[in-house]
Each structure stands twice: as C-alpha cells, then as structure tokens.
Amino acid sequence: MSHTEDPQPKEPLGNGKHAARQEQAMTLWQGLRLYPKAVAWSVLLSSTLIMEGYDLALLGSLYASPAFNKKYGVQSANGSWTVPAPWQSALSNGARAGEVIGLIISGLISERLGYRWTMICALVAINAIIFLFFFAVNVKMLLSAEILAGIPWGIFQTLPAAYASEVCPVVLRPYLTTYINMCWVFGQFIAAGVNRGSVQRGDEWSYRIPFAVQWAWPLPILIGILFAPESPWWHVRRGDIAGARRALKRLTSSKDRDFDLDGTIAMIQHTNELEKSITAGTSYVDCFKGVNLRRTEIVCGTWIVQTLSGQNLMGYFAYFCVQAGLPRIYSFNLSLGQYALGVLGTMGSWFLMSKMGRRKIHLFGLSTLFILLIITGSLSFAPSSNKSAKWAIGVMLMIFTFVYDISVGPVTYSLVSELSSTRLKAKTINLARAGYNISNIVVNVLTNYQLNQSAWNWSARSAYFWAGTCLVCLIWAFFRVPEPKGRTYEELDLLFERRISARKFHKTEVDAFEEVEVREDIVKDVEQDAVVHLNEAFLGNSNKQCKHPIFPSEQSQEFEISTTDILGASINMMSHQIIARRTPRYCLTCLYRPIIPPRPRQPRQFTTQPRQSFISPSPFRPQLPFLSQTQGRLPLALHLRQHFTRLISTSRTSRYKRGVYRGLKISVTLYAILWMLHFIKTGIYQEEIEHKWPTPQEWSWRSRWALRSAIALQHPEEIGQVKTPWQNVYGFYKQLLERLEDPNIDGQGIFEQGEGGILVEGVGKLGYDISMKSEPWRRGYFQCLINSAKAAEYLDGFMTDRKQRITAPAEYVHGPSNPGAKTLPGRTEIVMHEEDCEPSAPAPEVFYMKILTTNGFTARQKIDAALAYADWLNYKGLTDTARDMYTWAMDIASSGLAYDASTVVDTKTGILKNNGRNIASDNIMRVSTALGVQSVKSGDLATALSIFTSVLKARRDLPQEPSTYHTKPYPTPALDEYVTKIKNMFVPSVYPEPPSDGNEAPIRDPCSEAGLMTYIGEILFASSSKETGLAWTRDAVDVTESVLLDLPSASNTGKGGTYNEEIRETRNRCSQCLKVGLSNWRTMVDNLISEASNAEQAAVANIGKGWFGNSKKKAEQKTLERKRWQAEKMIIDDRANGLLRLTNEYTLYKPSGFGTSLF
C-alpha cells in the first residue's frame, strides 16, 4: 500500500501486525526520513518547557541578586538584605501549586479539545501572566504571578511528552521524550546567562529584564502550534479514523512510497481495542484499577525519584555556592557551566539509550548521584579558610548536574511516556507530574530552610540528607522500574497484564498479534460449518438441528436469502469478534453467532399485501392520502407541521427528552455549584474584613455586615480595588443607621432628647441619648455617623436616578432647572430626568450635628466631628461659620479638663501658655493646631506661627513611651498568613479596647511634631527667612522618615492575629506628612531656583556696566547659587525615589485631600 493511496484495508489485523514489525525494525535514519514533520512538531511543543525551566532556575538565581533581595526581602541582623525562608518557600511552592491545578485541568480537557488546542489556550494565558511578573510591586504580587503561571506550566509539563510518544515511532520515542529534559536545561542555561548579565546592575532592571525575557517564547510557539496536526492516536480514541489518517499524512513524509498508512492506522486501532478489552475506562479512577494501578505507581514513582535524588540543589546552584562561601560573580559563572554540562549530558543520554536499556541507565544514575552527594556533604567540614574545598563543592555539583542530565533526568521522560497506557496516557502522566510537584513543594520547603542563613543554615551539609533519600529511590527503582526498550505499546500492555516482574521484562518474549490470529484451517472449518448451519437455519434442507441457530427456527422458514451473502456477513462479523478479543477461547458454534440478532420483520400497517420474501420483487408503494399529492398547495405552516412531525420518530423524541433533561440537570448542578462557591467566597471575605475591622459583637449580623463592608470599601487598596464607590458606601451606612436607630432592631435603649426629638431647620432631628448603651455600641454608632458625613461630602452635588439606579453630578440631570444638561460620558443612550432623581446623600451637617448633639459620645469623638465639620465649611467658603465651629471645639475640649483651661491655653487664639504648671490635654493641642491652620488661611501668619511654636514646644515636653513596634519592617511570612486566615475562620474577632477620650496629656508623637515643623517652615519661608523655612522643612522630612523606618509593615497583625488598625493609621498619617514635607521642600527649592535664575540673568546682563568692574564676579556668584539649588533639587528627587518603599506610592509630590498643605 503506497503512502498516497486511500483504499480501506481488507485485512486490518494483518496490516497492523506488519506495521508493528516494520516499526520495530526501523532504524534511526529511517525514522528521521519517514517522520521529519513529526520530529519538528514534537520539538516545537516541547519548547514550551523552556519557559518553565527558565523561570524556576531564574527564581533560584535571583535569590543571590542584591537588588532583588532589597526589593522583595528584609534586612537581616548583619545588615544584608535577603528574602526570608518562608517567602522563598512560598514563591517556589506557589508555582508548584499552580502546576498541580494545571495538570488536573490538562487531564480533563486534553481528551476533549486535543493536545493542540489545549496548548494554544495555555500559551495565551502565560502571555498575559508575564505582565504580573514584570510589574510586581511586592512579594505578594510576585507570589500571585507564580501561582497563576504554574497553571499553564502544568499543562506544558505533560502534553509535550504525551504528544511526542504518540506521533513518533519506537526508534524516535526515547530521543524526543528526553529532548524535553534538554528544553528544561536550555531554559535554565538561558536564565543563568541573563542573570549573569544583569546581576551587576544595582537598579530594578537587574530583575525586571530577566522577567521580560519570558515574552520571547509564547508568541512564536503559539503561531507554530496553530498549524500543527493533532495526534492520530487522539483521533482514533474518538472514533475519527478519517481524522487520524489526515493527521498521520501530515506527520510523515510523502516521498516514502513503502510506508503503509493503513497498516499504521490498523496498528493504532488494534492497540486501542486491546487496551479497551483490558480496561474500558478512561477516567482518573481507571488509573488505579487492575493492571493500571501498577503502571500508575511506577510512572508516579519514577517522576518523584527526580525530586528526592537531590536535583533541587541544581536549581539553587548559584545560591548554594554563595552560601558555601564562593564569591557571587563566580557562582553565576559556575552556574553557566553547570547548565552547559546539562545540555551535553542530555545529548549523551541519547547515545546511551541506543546502547543500553532505560532501567540500567536509571539505576546507574541514582548510584552515581548517591556517591556524589556523600562527597559534597563531606567537603562541607573543611575549614572556612579552605578555598579549595569551596571550589570542590562547586565542581561536585557540576559533575552532579552532568550525571543527572545523562541518566535520571532525561530517562524519566522516556519511562513515563512508554510505561503508561495509551488510553490513559495523559491522565497517568498528569497524576505522575502532580505527585512530582507535590513532592517538590515539600522538597523546596526543606531546601530553603536548609540553605537559608536565617533558618537551619546547613549549607553544603544538606547533601547528606538528600543522599539518604537518593538511596531509598535506588532501592525502589531496582525492584519496581521495568525495561521498555524496543517494546511496542501492545507488547507492554501484555507484559503488564501477565504481571511480569520488572527485572524480567527485557527477557520475556511476547507477540501481541499471535494471540489474536486465527489459523487458516480453523477459518476453513468455520466457513464449512457456517454453510451447513445456514442452510439448515434458512432453507430447512437438513434434519440436523443446530444447537446454536443464528435465527430462531420458526422464523427461518419465512426468509429466503443468498447463502453467499449470509456467509460473507457471518464471516465478517466473526472476524471482527476475533479481532476485538485477545485469545480465541470460544466454542466453534458460538463463533458465527452475530453480534446483534436480527429482529423479525413486521408487515407494514398500511398494506394488505402478503409477507414478501427477501428475493421477491417489491410491490409498488401504496398511495395513501397523506402520502399522495394534494390538490393545490397547503399553507406553509401546516405543511411544515405535518412533515416535521413525521421526521421526529419516537426514539428520536425520547433521545431529545433525555438530552434536554440531562442538559437541565447539568445546568442546575453547575449553577448550584457556582452559587455555593460564591457563598463560600463571600463568607471567607467577610471573615477576613471582620478581623481587619472588627464590629461590635452585640449588633445583629446584618448590621455588622453593613459596617465592615462599608469600611472595606473605604480602603480599596486593602481589598484589591482601585477607588472607593462612595454611593455604595453611603448605601451601607444608610441601611446601618436605620437599623441602629430602630428600637425594634439594634436601637433598644436609645431615647430621643425631648418629646418627639429636637428639630433644627435645614438640619433635621438632632441626636439621641445613647448614654445607656455599651461603649462598643456607641463607638460603632459614631463610626457610622462620621463616615456617613464623609460619604456625604464626596457625594455633595450628586443626584441618584431612582429608576435607573445611576449616580452622577447634577449637571447631567435633564429638567426644567437644567435644560442644557450634559450627556453622561460613554453612556449617550442614558438620560437622567429631574423628576426621577433625588440627592444622593443628605448634607454633611446633618450627620455632624447629630454627633455634636448626641448625649453619650466622648469629648474626643465630638471634637473629631467639630474639626471635620469646620474643614468642610472652610472648603465650601463659609469661613465665619468655620471659625464658630472651632470655637465650639475649644469649648468641648475645655469642658473635659479637671482644671481651669485658661491656665494652659488662650481659648480665643489657641496659643498654649506652657507655664510648667499644667500640661495641655490632647484635645486642647489638636484644637489649637486646627486654629493655627485657620489663622494661616485667613492671613494672620503671626498668630499662626505663635500657635504652632507653642504647640510644638508643649509636645516636645511630653513624656515619651517606649515603642512596642519592631525595629525592622518584617512582612508576615506567607505560610503564617495562610494559617492565620484559616484560624480566623474559626476564631471570633476581638473588638479593640476603647481609646482615650483625649482629656489627658498625650504621649510624645514625633510624627505630630514633624507636621508642626512643616507648618512652621512654610510660614517662615513665605513671611520672613527663606533659608530658615527651608531648614525647618528639611528637619521635618528627616523626623518623618525616621518614624516610618521604625514602624512595622501595615500588613502586620496585632494581638490574637487581629489586624492592627493603629499601625495602619499611623503609617498612613506619617506617609501623608512625608508627602507634604517633600512636596513643600521641592516647591521651596523650585522657588529659589527661579529667583536665582532671574538674578543670574540680571547679573549677566549687567556685566561691564558697573563702575568698579565687579559685575562679572557677581554674575559668577549668582550662577553658583543657582547650581546649588539645582543640586539640592536633584537630592530631593533621589531621596523621594528612595522613600517610595516606605509610602507604597508612585509619586511623593501629590498629597491627596484638601487642607494638607499651606501653599
């Protein structure tokens, strides 16, 4: 049969056997000549593994990069920066966890979509995920990128091996499956080279460039795979023989006329049927049934051996050498040589596998690795001054890499692809690789702790541990790993079915086709007996009754049929039965029993003709009314109804019903699962924000839900959002306020002040008497009111359309009061009508006045409301009303003192007296500072300067409490964070202790002092001495920076694992102060540069015009002055860039909110 011919094979069993023998006898050169396209497509798919090898080696090498450690690590006790061991484990294991997910997905969709489309989807995904690596701003984002990237990497890990083992013959299979290991080494080699080129850079590009290089692979590979053929084995498993033939034509060379296309397809069909007879299932469960259990155990164990043989030390080569004492640059140089040896080792494995068996190479490799690990561990006992021992450790690891990549590394891919069943290949390899990744997670955790200086710090002695695990792997492989060299998939199936020992696989002879061949004499006997029995059964010419008649005897008299036709059909059915089974264990009379006995023919209901024989001419079809042509033309609807009713048979109708029922059942189940997952996600989210922002436990669950949800929306950076949706925030607070003021829900025990409450025109009902409620209830109620006022400020001037549920500024509302309203941007088809709209929120004073008039709030809470209301009035231009509100705040602060307030403060101006007898309370200092800001805005700089200096002196005289914060900003370890989240699911949140009411003297706060110094610097710069004002501003920035450096991370947790809100608020306040100070400093320097430039230009213009000839010298002085201020501006820019890590902001020159600066 030529390559180009396309007839159906007449003898599939014989053709399949011939093709199998031809494939086993094929030489390497013949295989390359016949399957050049298959080799090229397999190499293309395997190239996806370069990405995974690159990233995994890259991550291990980046741990030795100073810039990477400074960006994503912490400072250790000796002053060096390093990524802590828990985070190293999380980053390494994040990719492994994602790969397990990818492996599961691959097994589920590859048999449905095929290898080709599964790879295309994975390549599209990895292209997008690389953006997360490149733009990762912290170690948490980097961990997310690792987890997400692990999903497509998990798909890449198994599909290339399965594809290569199916599209290529036996002689090419070991080379193409082991080429996958070379792709890993290529990726590791490229990673080492990129790191070597960028490690000496001191900026962020030393690690961003290696991340960006990952974009070099996905797009070219994706374009190539779009034109790749699917595996013919996949087509056969789906029953698409024509598709298998087309795929096989595209995989082979059309120049070889001796290639038997039909025979190869027959061999694939035979192998598929053979495995179906052994086990018909193709699910994950079938991997653990019957003989497949042993195959799954061997394949999984073979891949796990890689992780336990010490190969993880290769991925950490540069880091391992640095920890062993080698210079960093030499460690990267050695890593390049290490991966070059890996490439040579993989090529050497091709030569070994052509001469030796896979089993021998595997056992030899494990034995050698064991010895090398023992030597490496022994070298670690040399003195630290012995440089030769350190270099010897590096050399041993390089030899280890070469031995691994010539034996255990590449041979594993050949073993797992050959020892798994073809029908379960993808799922078996997925299970094996999942086991590999899970074991790798454990191995990575152990390795990070073994090598990290802040953990166990075993250094090179960790090789002893892996030598022990390598010995265990060697013993297991000796008894369990068989020899698949030179075996076809059919032969391997029979060897496993016969339960041949792994050590006897290479000696046992087996012929997969011998057990299904039927001898010619048996076939002739079957034909003769079939003729006799057919005559007896159909023609009744013999008195001998068949013990197993083909048809019932009472029906046989009613049919006349050609004996030759029946005989041919019977032999054809029998041949298919024989092919479909493995051994001919049948009685002779059962061989020619048809697969499905024919049903007795029934006469048609609409005819009165007698029963017709098969060989008699058929009568004309009777012309009944519904079959004959009608007079005229029926209406189209009636015509279609009649004919479609006839086309849908009863069996088809039942099939449609079953399909609809199955679809509905699947849809309902899927929606139920999605809703359940949504509920679970919502519950986890609510528990998380409850521990971040605890709510009063005496409230009902709906009230607590509303409060924490609103607070979470006000902190979008904490919940992964970009900005705060204030209309949603107010919606939560409005609902909460109604519940808290309802006596039937959560408002039991609150009373209105006066009969029916006190009403104020333009404001509404004043506050309640909540003095009988508990302190947590009152504090939560205050949170609701003060945040409602804040939301109302942001929604001032906004209207909400009740029908369309849209919130927009009033200028977009159409109506009589605004006939020329604007169109909503991007929503031109939506129109907001005035009659359908209402204000999005009441005026902020409604909530501020309710706080100020409520009986039961503390002095601090009322002063917070008064100062916030005064700021709002200033923003709206109501300066006089704002001044009255500041006076009210001073009255509240004075009324809470145990002594006469006039002894410590001038209540009219806000200037502290600092007479040494009494110390002003925290409330007094806060109100005085607010009065100083008000004086500046009103133009009274002298009074403002007096207020700020008096408050600063009073704060500097306060006692200083020892800080309970950590001295270094250690982030929460990833594993501890996950454990804390799980624990929080079962541990109730703890509501924080009540803060001070502000009537006592505060503790010294350097951040508050820095804010006052910033104000003083601004005033001095604008009014008197620019140099003095600039000096005050510099000192303010220095103080704020020192405070931020001493504060722990905002993500740290407090007592009991609860979120430390105090730390977060302090960091936010200091970050805001630092941004204002740097912005003011830059503004001052820009002003001085402008003045110096003008003075310089004037001096240059006056050169030669003076009487005494000193104009040129004066111009030079002005030039030096300008350069001085320009140099200081450059210092500010560098300092701002260095402080970005402290504030987590991309710019320090844009303070947010109103009232943050006096300029």
In a domain, 609, yes or no: no
CA 604, 610, 616, 617 torsion-angle sign = negative
**Local structure of 800: helix, strand or coil:** strand
Q: What local confidence, expressed as pLDDT, does residue 15 receive?
A: 55
Same-domain pairing of 185 and 224: yes
Do the bridges between strand 806-809 and strand 798-801 make them parallel or antiparallel, or are there none, so unpaired?
A: antiparallel
- Report the CATH number at residue 439: 1.20.1250.20
Q: Average pLDDT in the 532-552 region? A: 45
Residue 1118 has pLDDT above 70, yes or no: yes
Of 821-825, 852-856, 884-888, the poorest mean pLDDT is in 821-825
Of 1-10, 457-466, 885-894, the poorest mean pLDDT is in 1-10
Q: Average pLDDT in the 899-904 region? A: 84
| Non-local CB neighbours of 161 within 8 Å, separated by 6+ positions | 177, 180, 413, 416, 417, 429
Q: How many domains does the chain have?
A: 3
In a domain, 903, yes or no: no
Q: What band does 561 get if pLDDT is binned at 50, 70 and 90?
A: very low
Q: What local confidence, expressed as pLDDT, does residue 962 receive?
A: 57
Same-domain pairing of 318 and 386: yes
The answer to whether 140 and 72 are in contact (CB under 8 A) is no
**pLDDT one-digit tens code per residue, 96-124:** 788 888 888 887 788 788 888 898 899 98
Same-domain pairing of 481 and 382: yes
The answer to whether 765 and 703 are in contact (CB under 8 A) is no
Which residue did the predictor score with more confidence, 1059 or 225?
225
Which residue did the predictor score with more confidence, 559 or 535?
535
Q: Average pLDDT in the 976-988 region? A: 65
Q: What band does 135 get if pLDDT is binned at 50, 70 and 90?
A: confident
**Local structure of 526: helix, strand or coil:** helix
Q: Average pLDDT in the 370-395 region? A: 81
- Tell me the percentage of the chain whose pLDDT exceeds 90: 9
**pLDDT one-digit tens code per residue, 737-748:** 999 988 888 888
Q: What burial class does residue 1117 get, using C-beta atoms within 10 Å of its C-beta: 0-12 exposed, 13-18 middle, 19+ buried? A: middle
Q: Average pLDDT in the 840-857 region? A: 90
Highest average pLDDT, of 279-293, 779-793, 893-907, comes from 779-793
The answer to whether 315 and 397 are in contact (CB under 8 A) is no
Q: Which two tokens stand for residue 93?
A: 């294991």
Domain boundary among 469, 504, 539: 504
Of 336-340, 377-381, 505-509, 1126-1130, the poorest mean pLDDT is in 336-340
Locate all alpha helices (DSSP H) within 135-202, ordered by sequence. Answer: 139-167, 173-198
Looking up tokens 């970005």 gives 1140
Residue 547 has pLDDT above 50, yes or no: no
Q: What burial class does residue 677 get, using C-beta atoms within 10 Å of its C-beta: 0-12 exposed, 13-18 middle, 19+ buried? A: exposed
Q: Average pLDDT in the 278-282 region? A: 58
In whole angstroms, give the CA distance from residue 1 to residue 333.
57
Q: Average pLDDT in the 714-734 region? A: 87
The answer to whether 538 and 561 are in contact (CB under 8 A) is yes
- At how many degrees (to 10) do helices 49-62 and 173-198 cross? 40
Same-domain pairing of 536 and 476: no
Domain boundary among 457, 482, 504: 504
In a domain, 92, yes or no: yes
Same-domain pairing of 464 and 561: no
Instruction: Identify the CA nearest to 530 among candidates 517, 543, 548, 516.
Output: 548
Q: What band does 780 get if pLDDT is binned at 50, 70 and 90?
A: very high
The answer to whether 67 and 207 are in contact (CB under 8 A) is yes
Q: In which element (H, E) is residue 977 found?
A: helix 974-984
Cβ density class 680-695: b for 16+ within 10 Å, e for less? eeeeeebbbbbbbbbb
Q: Average pLDDT in the 1072-1081 region? A: 83
Please count the other Cβ atoms lying within 10 Å of the Cβ belonging to residue 457: 14
Q: Average pLDDT in the 923-937 region? A: 89
The answer to whether 782 and 711 are in contact (CB under 8 A) is no
**Local structure of 773: helix, strand or coil:** coil
Please count the other Cβ atoms lying within 10 Å of the Cβ belonging to residue 580: 14
The answer to whether 44 and 228 are in contact (CB under 8 A) is yes
Locate all alpha helices (DSSP H) within 1102-1139, ordered by sequence. Answer: 1111-1138
**Local structure of 81: helix, strand or coil:** strand
Average pLDDT across the chain, whole number: 76
Q: What is the dihedral of CA 569, 571, 572, 577, to 10 degrees?
A: 130
Which residue did the predictor score with more confidence, 792 or 913?
792
In whole angstroms, give the CA distance from residue 998 to residue 994.
12
Same-domain pairing of 1097 and 1135: yes
Residue 282 has pLDDT above 70, yes or no: no
Q: What local confidence, expressed as pLDDT, does residue 972 receive?
A: 47
| Non-local CB neighbours of 691 within 8 Å, separated by 6+ positions | 984, 989, 1057, 1058, 1059
Residue 4 has pLDDT above 80, yes or no: no
| Non-local CB neighbours of 604 within 8 Å, separated by 6+ positions | none
Domain boundary among 591, 624, 642: 591
Q: In which element (H, E) is residue 808 found?
A: strand 806-809
Same-domain pairing of 500 and 544: no
**pLDDT one-digit tens code per residue, 306-359:** 889 888 777 666 666 665 566 666 666 666 677 777 778 878 887 888 778 889
Do the bridges between strand 832-833 and strand 764-765 make them parallel or antiparallel, or are there none, so unpaired?
A: unpaired
The answer to whether 152 and 105 are in contact (CB under 8 A) is no
Q: What local confidence, expressed as pLDDT, does residue 626 receive?
A: 46
Please count the other Cβ atoms lying within 10 Å of the Cβ belonging to residue 447: 27
Same-domain pairing of 164 and 41: yes
Same-domain pairing of 478 and 547: no
Q: Give CA 526 to chain center in angstroms.
A: 64
Q: Give CA 438 to chain center in angstroms.
A: 17
In a domain, 878, yes or no: no
Q: What band does 524 get if pLDDT is binned at 50, 70 and 90?
A: low
User: Which CB contacts under 8 angstroms, 24+ apart, belong to 495-504?
Assistant: 496/291, 496/294, 496/295, 497/278, 497/291, 499/291, 499/294, 502/298, 502/359, 503/478, 503/479
Range of the domain at 556: 518-591
Strand partners, 759: 765
Q: How far is CA 609 from CA 25, 337, 554, 912, in A?
A: 64, 92, 21, 123
In a domain, 691, yes or no: no
**pLDDT one-digit tens code per residue, 574-624:** 444 443 333 433 343 444 444 444 445 554 444 444 444 444 444 444 444
Do the bridges between strand 832-833 and strand 813-814 make them parallel or antiparallel, or are there none, so unpaired?
A: parallel
The answer to whether 141 and 208 are in contact (CB under 8 A) is no
Which residue did the predictor score with more confidence, 296 or 1152?
296
Q: Average pLDDT in the 498-502 region? A: 86
Instruction: Identify the CA nearest to 91 among candidates 60, 45, 137.
Output: 60
| Non-local CB neighbours of 916 within 8 Å, separated by 6+ positions | none
Residue 125 has pLDDT above 50, yes or no: yes
In a domain, 955, yes or no: no
Residue 947 has pLDDT above 80, yes or no: yes
Instruction: Identify the CA nearest to 992 among candidates 1154, 751, 779.
Output: 779
**pLDDT one-digit tens code per residue, 33-51:** 888 888 888 888 888 888 7
Q: CA 157, 160, 164: angle at the middle one, nearest 5?
A: 145
Instruction: Identify the CA nearest to 1006 among candidates 1074, 932, 956, 953.
Output: 956
In a domain, 997, yes or no: no
Q: What band does 781 get if pLDDT is binned at 50, 70 and 90?
A: very high
Instruction: Identify the CA nearest to 400 among candidates 505, 482, 319, 311.
Output: 311
Ranges assigned E (strand) in 816-922: 832-833, 837-839
Same-domain pairing of 443 and 390: yes
Residue 1151 has pLDDT above 50, yes or no: no
Same-domain pairing of 470 and 580: no
Q: How far is CA 806 from CA 732, 812, 840, 844, in A?
A: 16, 11, 10, 21
Same-domain pairing of 31 and 126: yes
Instruction: Identify the CA nearest to 427 among candidates 102, 106, 99, 96.
Output: 106
Ranges assigned E (strand) in 32-117: 74-75, 81-82
In a domain, 208, yes or no: yes
Q: What burial class does residue 108 get, using C-beta atoms within 10 Å of its C-beta: 0-12 exposed, 13-18 middle, 19+ buried? A: middle
Q: What local confidence, expressed as pLDDT, does residue 325 receive?
A: 63
Helix/strand/coil (H, E, C) string of 1028-1088?
HHHHHHHHHHHHHHHHHHHCCCCCCECHHHCECHHHHHHHHHHHHHHHHHHHHHHHHHHHH
Q: What local confidence, expressed as pLDDT, does residue 516 receive?
A: 47
Q: Average pLDDT in the 1054-1082 region? A: 70
